[in-house]
């Protein structure tokens, strides 16, 4: 029996080695990748700076068109947007990995600002009827904080501007806008939404943005898919281990405005790689906060690459 187990173990190791070799030898140079120009694109920065012709960075509000165009092999996009399109039959892109886990912060210039100041106050969020707003309000409510009213502006840049012009404002903004604001006014206090989210869910952030892969590529060349996912995992890891390299790449690619902002903001952007199949539970946890943002239901199993 022990001999049989040993043979089985060796066979599995050899098989794993074969898959690894296939991934390493796969050619990814012809792949086309699209991403919104902003914090989630940091996941690809060290790859894109080496092969800029393969990467297209677009405005965040136009990323949905990338799914319908179906010209990119991989797309970075909000997970709920990709899930909603997939459920509606308007996209064949599957979730390959979660790469962004929430870059939102409650911020104010109030003296000694704490979340207790939210109770009975007016707060300003950005992106009405978005999953980011839903998660922010969920985290406040579940932690016992209740604003008197909630206003909305269009973007994090708008709430950043309000933060800078109104010393009594309480806003939700995002990195890197928060870092840029703090460089203009050091009286800003910020509290991570992820800290509140973890307090009630146990998870280190919510599933904000993901890397999607075209189903046609999965069918035609799974080894290429796996090879590129491995490269992205390594690129994401550099957001923690080599911030300077990521910052330099982000500035070169014009993902972030300057190196000073980039180096300070990157650690707060919560870039981390987790395969779709391993992130499934966390995606469902985020979806259940506001199912309307996911098309009315949690994604089906076949939405997750590797979990079919």
Kindly report, residue by residue over 257-280, the tens digit of the pLDDT.
899 999 999 999 999 999 999 999
Overall average pLDDT of the 94-104 stretch: 98
For residues 233 and 191, state if they share a domain.
no
- Whether 268 and 246 map to the same domain: the answer is yes
* CATH number (domain holding residue 260): 3.40.190.10
Task: Tell me, yes or no, whether 20 lies in a domain.
Answer: no
The first and second tokens of residue 47, run together, are: 């790859």
Average pLDDT, the chain: 92
In a domain, 56, yes or no: yes
Question: Do 83 and 123 sit in the same domain of this protein?
Answer: no
Is the model's pLDDT at 24 over the cut of 70?
no
> Which tens digit of pLDDT belongs to each residue from 276-297?
999 999 999 999 999 999 999 9
Rg of the Cα atoms in the chain: 21
> Which residue among 178, 201, 224 closes a domain?
201
pLDDT tens figures, 170-189: 999 999 999 999 999 999 99
Q: What percent of the chain has pLDDT over 70?
A: 92
> Is residue 4 situated within a structural domain?
no
For the whole model, what pTM was predicted?
0.90
Q: Is residue 15 part of a domain?
A: no
- Whether residue 182 sits in one domain with residue 40: no
pLDDT of 86 higher than 50: yes
Residue 308 predicted with pLDDT over 90: no
pLDDT at 235: 98
Longest dimension (CA), the chain: 74
The reply to whether 154 and 289 lie within a common domain is no
- 237 pLDDT higher than 80: yes
Whether 139 and 261 map to the same domain: the answer is: no
Average pLDDT over residues 221-233: 97
Of 201, 217, 250, which closes a domain?
201
Domain interval for residue 51: 29-101+207-303
How many structural domains comprise the chain? 2
Q: Are residues 223 and 293 in the same domain?
A: yes
DSSP assignment letter at 227: H
Residue 251: per-residue pLDDT: 96
Q: Are residues 50 and 194 in the same domain?
A: no
């Amino acid at each position: 029996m022990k001999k049989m187990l040993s043979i089985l173990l060796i066979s599995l190791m050899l098989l794993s080695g074969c898959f690894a070799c296939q991934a390493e030898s796969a050619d990814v140079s012809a792949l086309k990748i699209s991403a919104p120009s902003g914090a989630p694109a940091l996941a690809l920065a060290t790859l894109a700076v080496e092969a800029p012709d393969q990467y297209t960075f677009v405005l965040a509000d136009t990323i949905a068109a990338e799914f319908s165009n179906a010209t990119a092999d991989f797309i970075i996009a909000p997970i709920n947007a990709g899930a909603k399109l997939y459920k509606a039959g308007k996209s064949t892109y599957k979730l390959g990995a979660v790469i962004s886990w929430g870059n939102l912060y409650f911020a104010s210039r109030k003296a000694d600002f704490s979340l207790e100041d939210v109770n009975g106050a007016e707060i300003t969020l950005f992106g009405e009827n978005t999953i980011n707003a839903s998660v922010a309000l969920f985290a406040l409510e579940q932690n016992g904080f209740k604003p008197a009213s909630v206003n909305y502006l269009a973007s994090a840049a708008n709430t950043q501007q309000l933060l800078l012009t109104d010393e009594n404002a309480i806003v939700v903004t995002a990195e890197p806008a928060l870092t840029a604001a703090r460089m203009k006014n050091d009286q800003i206090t910020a509290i991570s939404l992820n800290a509140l989210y973890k307090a009630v869910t146990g998870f280190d952030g919510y599933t904000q943005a993901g890397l999607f892969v075209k189903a046609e590529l999965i069918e035609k060349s799974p080894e290429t898919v796996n090879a590129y996912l491995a490269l992205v995992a390594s690129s994401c890891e550099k957001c923690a281990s080599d911030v300077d390299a990521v910052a330099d790449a982000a500035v070169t690619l014009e993902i972030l405005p300057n190196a000073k902002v980039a180096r300070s903001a990157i650690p707060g952007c919560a870039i981390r790689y987790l395969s779709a199949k391993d992130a499934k539970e966390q995606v469902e946890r985020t979806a259940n906060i506001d199912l309307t943002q996911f098309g009315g239901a949690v994604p089906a199993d076949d939405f997750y690459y590797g979990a079919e």
